[in-house]
Amino acid sequence: MTLKSAAINIVADIGGTNLRIGMLDETGSVKNLHLYQCAEFSSLQMVLEDYFVQHQVDSSKVNACLAIACPVDNDLISMTNLPWEFRQSELKASLQLNSLYMINDYTAIAMSINSLDDTQKVKIGGGEAIPHKPIAICGPGTGLGVANLFAYQGQWISVGGEGGHVDFAPTDETEFAILNFLKHKYPRVSAEQILSGLGIEQIYQALCDINDVKAENYRAKDISAKGISGECEVCVQAMHQFCKTLGSFAGNLALTTGAFGGVYIAGGIVPRFLEFFAQSEFRARFEAKGRFEEFNQGIPTYVITEPQPGILGASAFLKQQINNEVVCL
């Protein structure tokens, strides 16, 4: 897709720790990609100003799409894991931008899906994607992100929400025991409290309680390392349980949306142990839907391995906006 050369099209992926920003060339590819440490700046505006100065950008010609890890429904943006707070209208006015689009980080990840090739994702199990059918995305990380992608009149619409906060639904005796353990800690147990970094820790703690062994003060990275290496038997069980529960959750997304375009696993956790994940019961749980087992068997599942899906998605979003196409509800 060729973009208008007079405009300067800027995309960014803003997390709690890192901020990546680049610009699109006339073919729509990202160039001049920079990584910033958010803690070194007191505001987003300072980062953008620094980037504009470095690349001699005339801000009045800038169309910017910024993917950010927090809600974007209101003018006031308040980041969860950073002391950055600003109004979208004021940021646009202060920088004198031509246009500004703030999108949620999972909207960006959803919008990246159709840009991924086989080197940027790994297929787990069977099923074949059907073009133009719905796509579902879930991503265990600090939390559990969920988004969906639907084709409409030749374009793609990203539909977000808070799907990571649905009720945790146990399907076997071990999961019932994990739920009972966590009910002493929370009045309500959501899927995110199992399928996240904290979730791995809580699965481990619950399994220690179930097995009547002392729980060590392990973080998620310790549990995953010891589980994948086989060093700790309870950690091995915890990692297998994580994969199984993720399979059930992803399978539920497939049923809910009829995601025959595929279900994609995003986030920073799963790509770290792909071989273990591929050999786990993830896919078996994904398909284990009783009378609808055959339904889910036809739906493919993938792990996103592309390190910059947010940048790709922000680029896809901006390209469609430039062409006056609706891409997000």
Q: How far is residue 232's CA from residue 105's CA, in Å, rounded to a whole number?
A: 35
Three-state SS for 145? strand
The region, left, alpha or beta by phi > 0 then psi within -120 to 50, assigned to residue 163 is alpha
Confidence of residue 1 (pLDDT cuts 50, 70, 90): very low
| Cβ-proximal residues to 291 (8 Å cutoff; 6+ apart), any chain | none
Per-residue pLDDT band for 277 (boundaries 50, 70, 90) equals very high
Residue 29 has pLDDT above 90, yes or no: no
Mind listing the pLDDT tens digit for each residue in 118-173?
999 999 999 999 999 999 999 998 889 899 999 988 788 888 778 899 999 999 99
Hey, CA dihedral for 107, 41, 83, 195, is it positive or negative?
positive
pLDDT of residue 5: 53
Rounded Cα distance between 236 and 226, Å, is 7
**Which has the closest alpha carbon to 163: 140, 131, 179, 180?**
140
Structure-block tokens of residue 81: 């894991």
How many residues does the structure list for the chain? 329
Angle, helices 197-211 vs 233-257, to 10°: value is 130
Which domains does the chain possess? 8-103 (3.30.420.40), 121-305 (3.40.367.20)
User: Could you tell me the pLDDT band of residue 2, with boundaries at 50, 70 and 90?
Assistant: very low
Q: Which residues contact 281 (CB under 8 A, 6 or more apart)?
A: 240, 243, 244, 247
Per mean pLDDT, which range of 35-39, 160-164, 242-246, 261-265 is the poorest? 160-164
- Do residues 178 and 206 lie in contact, with contact meaning Cβ atoms separated by under 8 Å? yes
Q: Binning pLDDT at 50, 70 and 90, where does residue 220 land?
A: very high
140 vs 81: which has the higher pLDDT: 140
Both structure tokens of 158:
């990203």
Q: Span 79-100, mean pLDDT?
A: 92
Query: What is the C-alpha to C-alpha distance for residues 214 and 231, in angstroms, rounded to an integer?
Result: 16
- Report DSSP letters for 260-284, one per residue: TT-EEE-SSSGGGGHHHHHTSSHHH
Say if CB 133 and CB 261 are below 8 A apart. Answer: yes
Mean pLDDT of 203-214: 96
Provide the token pair at 77: 């943006």
Higher pLDDT, 328 or 119: 119
Furthest-apart CA atoms within the chain: distance in Å: 67
* Location of structure tokens 């796509």: 135
Among positive and negative, which fits the CA dihedral 30, 260, 170, 186?
positive
Place 326 in a pLDDT band, splitting at 50, 70 and 90: very low
Mean pLDDT of 14-29: 88
The pLDDT value given to residue 324: 63
- Choice between 101 and 142, residue whose per-residue pLDDT is larger: 101
How far apart (Å, rounded) are the C-alpha atoms in residues 316 and 328? 11
Note the pLDDT of residue 190. 96
Tell how far CA 159 is from the center of its chain. Answer: 13
Q: What is the mean pLDDT of residues 63-73?
A: 91
Count of beta carbons in the 10 Å neighbourhood of residue 184: 7
- Written as one letter, the residue type at 96 is Q
For the cut 90, the answer to whether the pLDDT of residue 6 exceeds it is no
Q: Which two tokens stand for residue 63?
A: 């169309």
What's the rounded mean pLDDT across residues 288-303?
97
35 contact partners, CB below 8 Å, separation of at least 6? 18, 19, 20
CB 246 within 8 A of CB 254: no
Contact 157, 150 (CB under 8 A): yes
The average confidence (pLDDT) of the chain is: 92
pTM over 0.85: yes
**177 membership: H or E segment, kind and range:** helix 173-183
Q: What is the distance in angstroms between the CA of the first residue and the CA of the last residue of the chain?
A: 23
Say which residue the tokens 């300072």 belong to: 46
